[in-house]
Structure 1
């Protein structure tokens, strides 16, 4: 079985399996614990905080739906607009809770909180200083949870959930569910030499083209350097022409050393999450705790949702804007040296004529019944997940940031 390289820096083991097995064939492992944290003692990137304080006077993501294709999103009081979008993993069943609302890994819940966590706003809106300081980038946006992968599920036949075909199916589901923006912190890494091989990417390409045709913006993590994803690798779907690829910043001035560069103009966002919505209740977490130890929330997986949420703010303000126009507004607003996202500038800048698309879209949408069996054609392709919420730096990659 041919495996794809991991575009991750993580302590979670992710393997390859066939399509989701029947419930009786799935063995759910013990979910990791969390390290509880008080959000009042944490801080957001200062550049982003300043921009959001102004941006939220203009837009908050109201009426915009953001699909999170990930490990599921747990129910949380700070995510009141969370709706189900499908469970392609098929484990952790509960008679009362859809599978996509059970996030054993904790990753998808952190991503969703970055996008749309509502503030404990005290007596006013937006945040007025009387509650805690935690707020999402687009706090009034809705979240569509689509569970596409998990590192804590095993089957009797093999040992991974998440393939390129299930990623393609998840994109189609997000579109059908009414998503305006799709966040993908799930990436696959290939050596550049393999991109011209006979590997079939048709289902994923069709799904991305379908999204563009339907006016849906797609944002993906750029991926993290690792032994399985060395410099020069090609990361999917981040390297697709119609996808906003997001690299990670260590702080306001430096890029994270582990971050892969995007294929387009540099675009980056903060990636060190000191506090996120807890996947185990109604509080906050700073780490996942597994047998390998504490794993902080860090990586391009958590930079991508900052850009996804910025796209949601733009979609509220410019509801008829095309994906190309949204991408242009974002690229025109970033710091040219660091690529730092600036939500307020993206909302308020004058837009120059839209850059035309660089390629024609070859649309070939599969029938609904065909989508359900597409995974068979790509069952051998393991899309290794960017579960960088549990960072374990690979040998040779240090935790310090590299100045740019």
Structure 2
């Protein structure tokens, strides 16, 4: 579904003399005596401020981090102190703010639209990029960060202290969860990676997964910048932009602690393998890839070696077929909407899974992988599936759908 340690530092640096400390604070706030008041000079000062603020996070230097925050913004200062502490267990490989635009806000206050780019040590080959809107203020010759408004969802460490558990192929980050639950997630993610490797047959993906589990469904919605009700019955989702041949921003598997908690061991295994398949296929999943194929392939990878029958794995579709209401066409993207009717959503997944299972059985698993790649390689949706059916499977779309309908009817 789309659309997986050792504690970090967090230590304060000590040993600065008073003169050195004053010089450092002046540099951190991006100002120097005699700075000009023009827009260009203001942008330069704010870039310097954000660069030093970023360095303070990477260096785990709390004093330097808080020195960049407006001392008059009491609530924001307390919030930043908490967030800095929440990051202590997160293994950061990189952290950088990049100024995009600086807009006057009246008086000595400005709005700084920026991007935060961060990566996790040993897991992210490309950083996560998220937009943030900062309020910056000039006080005399010094510049400070005085507030912020995330644009595109909160980060996990904004919600509380993060606990990190490292597996052989996974990193699990949790807030409000005990370590035992996080370790169980890491174990399942570690089992999911080789299962996906066997299905996807491509060693060019990273072979590791980052999993995040917030404290509640509401907190999950905040991470995804969407109403929590959209994900009430969804055990997990995978974030990340499609495409890019290895340059797409890093994926995160976000677990719904409530829906996931209601699953049994087998269901949890399927969910983690399904989401890991999305991570593996992300670079070749493009706007040309229909959801029946991306979701169907992820389910195929998840069920591939489980021995589950079609009736066991697709109960909603089985009920419809048994009642004399078989599907007439492959599911549309809209059928996969999380906010839609739950039965239709389940059937959409089941129909996509059976389409992929049919390809694997009748043309071979290598052909299924080749078909997936061929569809994504076309970049645009129009004609992508039709062209890949012709080039890889040597069938037309009408013939394929007719075979699929027959296959579905015979599966139950």
TM tier relative to shorter chain: under 0.3
Relative to total residues, which structure has the larger helix share, 1 or 2?
2
Higher relative contact order (CA 8 A, sep 6+): 1
Normalising by structure 2, what TM-score?
A: 0.27
